Amino acid sequence: MSAATELEQWLRDQARTRIQQALARRSYARAGTNLTDVDRRVAHALAEQMSGRKLPKTSRADEAKSATIEEHIASKLEGEAAMLLRFAAFVCSIDAEGSKRLLIAASHALRSYQHGNGAPDLAKEIADKIDEATA
């Protein structure tokens, strides 16, 4: 398997993971807003029993706020998944030698940022080449 194919598969796997995380977050958000008062009290008592200490009570407003946050996180995860899938398609579409040179250049730019070196010119140059390759 070529490096580009491995990278494409890794990107697709990462996208799949993000989508699964988003689905779990949305499910959690919906479940939290569907609790009855009895369910909430039972869950609170169980949480206190499991933790061995008193826990603060939550209100419907707290649950609604938590659900909103979970929905926001799920949306961000879906956005990341879409970006990963677009990049995987890009990696798949360009020729092997061109993709290798482009990926090495991108890696160098990212490593530069990782080590605290500001390289906006390098990043711009690589982004321009990626834009050119995808046009």
Q: Could you report the per-residue pLDDT of 29-57, keeping only the tens digit for each? A: 787 666 677 877 888 888 889 989 998 88
Look at residues 9, 4, 15, 5 and name the one whose alpha carbon lies nearest to residue 82.
15
61 membership: H or E segment, kind and range: helix 60-93
**Is the entire prediction scored with pTM above 0.85?**
no
Give the SS3 label for residue 103.
helix
- Number of neighbouring beta carbons within 10 Å of residue 94: 17
> How does pLDDT run across 51-90, given as a tens digit for each residue?
899 988 877 787 788 888 888 999 998 998 998 888 888 7
Return d(Cα 104, Cα 22) in angstroms, integer.
31
* CB-based contact 123:109 (threshold 8 Å): yes
Distance of CA 48 to the CA centre of its chain: 32
* CB-based contact 35:63 (threshold 8 Å): yes
